[in-house]
Amino acid sequence: MAKKPGKSSGERASARKRIFDTAADLFYRKGIRAVGVETIAAGADSTKMGLYRSFPSKDELVAEWLRDHDIRFWQQWDQMASRYPEDPRRQLNAAFRLLAKHVADPQARGCAMANAAVEITEKDHPARKVIETHKAKLRARLAELCVGSGARQPQLLADHLFLLMEGAQVAAITLGVRGPARNVAPAAESLIEAHLSRRRD
């Protein structure tokens, strides 16, 4: 059996959890390659040896981080979707409101997955398939909602919306919260409407 906190508040989390959380924070804020394992360990009040007792390598820690990000992402997504059951059009809308909220946070620095894809160029890095799977799933889920919304060309609309999502995240990095990123929701709305209205007649 693992740890049962016993008393609730003052309990110190496991070294593994502290290291993982610190790594997640530093990787996202400073970048993967910019953060060394020693820095992570120190930030977690542990040591490099402590890190390597819980994770086989830095590369695997990175992959672990992104797997966790993927899980949390879809938890949020499903929770959002469950608020508008049987209404894919509203789910689409809610997804973009969620995204808009995220890119409006001055702390935010884009999408962890996409940023990792930029930094990691080795094709055999364990994080690469995590990233690709995540983004492929996002594309597919968008397509589902576009089908459900009755779009004329649902896969095409899904791709358009996908581009907006990715663009908003990177635009938040380069031009900040006052930049184009803050207009991502109305952009999605335009695109959706254009794809729902009959073409001309």
In this structure, are residues 177 and 103 in contact, taking their beta carbons and an 8 Å threshold? Answer: yes
84 vs 91: CA distance, rounded Å: 6
> What's the token pair of residue 81?
């979707």
Q: Is 98 near a copy of itself (CB under 8 A)? A: no
Cα gap 8→42, rounded to integer Å: 25
Task: Tell me: does residue 194 bind a copy of itself (CB under 8 A).
Answer: yes
What mask of x and - would describe binding to DNA in positions 9 to 48, judged by CB under 7 A? -----xxx------------------xxxxx-----xxxx
Residue of 50, 148, 176, 180 that binds DNA (CB under 7 A): 50
Considering only residues 38 to 97 of the shown chain, the ones binding a copy of itself according to CB under 8 A are: none
198 dihedral zone (left: phi>0; alpha: psi -120 to 50; beta): beta
**C-alpha to C-alpha distances, 1 to 11, 15, 54, 55, nearest whole angstrom:** 17, 17, 17, 20
Q: Which is nearer to DNA, 57 or 183 (CB)?
A: 57
Reference 61, options 86, 32, 87, 34; nearest CA is 32
Q: Considering only 46-54, 58-66, 71-79, 181-189, which stretch makes contact with a copy of itself by CB under 8 A?
A: 181-189
50 vs 176, beta carbon nearer DNA: 50
Q: How far is the CB of 6 from a copy of itself (least distance, A)?
A: 39
Q: Which residues would be at the binding site for DNA (CB under 7 A)?
A: 14-16, 35-39, 45-50, 52-54, 57-59
